[in-house]
Amino acid sequence: MEPSQYRKKELTRLSFNFYGYSRESYKACAEMIRSTDRKHISILTSWFFLMNFVYLVFSYLNLFGVNEERIPFYSAFMLVSLMFGVWVLFFPKSVDKHIYFAVLSSIFMLLIYGILSSIAQPYMPATMFLVLLLLTSLSYVGSMYIMILISIAGTGIFIFTSYSYKTFSIAYHDTYNVLVVLMLSILLHYSFQRMRIAQFVLYQQDLEIQRKLEIKSSFDSLTGLLNRGRFFSIAEEVLKIKSEGILALCIIDLDGFKQINDTLGHQMGDKVIQVVGKTIMECLRIDIVDKNISSWNLNQPFDFAGRLGGDEFILMLRGKKDREELTAKLKEILEKLNATSFDSVAGIRASVGVVEVFANVKDIDVAYKMADDALYEAKRSGKNQIYFSKKDIREAE
């Protein structure tokens, strides 16, 4: 068999095992599968506990043909289901971590109960095992091969015990019924779980579309930095948080950028903008991969940056212990830009306006105005330098 044919056959096998989806698609849904299985474990365990409790009451009262001899049986399974239910209810993280063990334990508990119930009524065709076999097949998402194996193994044990404890005619009746239910449960398991996986995959696709839309609406396409609107919305949220150390708003404007566009062309100008964005990311240690803004913990004092448009950039630096540390970080950016050399560009010059933001300031526009004024002073004083606002920002309110 040729390698390509082997891979095709392997993909077909995996597709059936994962309900008609690839291993990758199945793994992408792993968290939702765990959540669904844990929910179903909780539901089935609660139902199982109540069912045994009702039967236990019937045993004490000797109702509906359930006599006192069955009290130990129902008491034991009620205790097991109670302990299992406590684990599922109060330790969900542990259940998620050992979800396969939890699912298998639930299935085995129910199928063993069905088999023992059948043995306890040797003069009647079994019904409980058939119900539980069908119920477990509809409840849990596992893998197709494992579920088939468990169903066949449970059915085999059930048939063996029927012929061991019942008359041939009743055991034969049990065999016919269980084989029909077995085929039905396998078919329904594949169909139902395939629909569930389809829903999970569709949900994942919706999340991916939302993520891409969020990125498109939040990040500058040229640099990967936050766009103007998203930067200011995040900055406003940051101002509401009590921060340790210095909080500073900085505006960076490139010096002589118009000349680059005019002499080297707009394509080279775009490349300069990209280099500046990359340099800012590297110096501030911004993770370009982490673009899921909804997961950002703004309480953590991380730095972030955006592009205002054209050759202007804006930074919010957080958690610096003093002005010296803040200045050192901005100098690092300037020095790397000055040392940049590619094609016809020999160094990128930039002016930086900085304002320290105090705890009582809640309006980002006030801080922006102060930083912009400081930038103007940096330009007026000779460019390619860092200029701190001389005014206390509280005076501008």
Predicted confidence pLDDT, tens digits, the chain (397 residues): 444 444 444 444 557 889 988 888 898 899 999 999 999 999 999 999 999 999 898 888 887 777 788 889 999 999 999 999 999 999 999 999 999 999 999 999 999 999 999 998 889 999 999 999 999 999 998 889 999 999 999 999 999 999 999 999 999 999 999 999 999 999 999 999 999 999 999 998 898 888 888 888 889 989 989 999 999 999 999 888 877 778 899 999 999 888 888 888 889 989 999 999 999 999 998 876 667 777 788 888 889 999 998 999 999 999 888 889 999 999 999 999 999 988 788 889 999 999 988 766 678 888 899 999 999 999 998 899 999 987 655 544 4
Spatial distance between the Cα atoms of 372 and 352, rounded to a whole number of angstroms? 9
Spatial distance between the Cα atoms of 275 and 313, rounded to a whole number of angstroms? 12
Q: What is the pLDDT of residue 7?
A: 45
Collect all residues with Cβ–Cβ distance below 8 Å to 197 and sequence separation of at least 6: 18, 19, 20, 21, 25, 26, 29, 33, 141
Residue at 251: amino acid letter: I
Q: Which of 393, 228, 252, 391 is nearest to 332 (CA)?
A: 252
> Which tokens is 214 given?
């969020």
Question: What's the burial of 279, exposed, middle or buried (CB within 10 Å: 0-12/13-18/19+)?
Answer: buried
Instruction: Tell me the domain boundaries of the chain.
Output: 9-211, 226-396
- In this prediction the pTM is 0.67
Q: β-strand 312-320 against 304-309: which pairing, if any?
A: antiparallel
Length of the chain: 397
Spatial distance between the Cα atoms of 124 and 26, rounded to a whole number of angstroms? 42
Q: For the CA atoms of 365, 366, 370, 375, what is the dihedral angle to 10 degrees?
A: 0
CA-CA-CA-CA torsion sign (196, 199, 205, 210): negative
Spatial distance between the Cα atoms of 160 and 154, rounded to a whole number of angstroms? 10
Q: What is the pLDDT of residue 12?
A: 44
Collect all residues with Cβ–Cβ distance below 8 Å to 162 and sequence separation of at least 6: 118, 126, 170, 171, 174, 175
Q: β-strand 341-342 against 312-320: which pairing, if any?
A: unpaired
Helix, strand or coil, per DSSP, at residue 123: coil
Spatial distance between the Cα atoms of 16 and 18, rounded to a whole number of angstroms? 5
Q: β-strand 350-357 against 386-388: which pairing, if any?
A: parallel
Spatial distance between the Cα atoms of 71 and 81, rounded to a whole number of angstroms? 15
Question: What's the burial of 184, exposed, middle or buried (CB within 10 Å: 0-12/13-18/19+)?
Answer: middle
Q: For the domain 226-396, what is the CATH code?
A: 3.30.70.270
- Report, in this order, helix, strand and coil percent for the chain, each rounded to 5: 70, 10, 20
Q: What is the pLDDT of residue 288?
A: 63
Spatial distance between the Cα atoms of 291 and 218, rounded to a whole number of angstroms? 9
**Max CA separation in the chain (angstroms):** 104
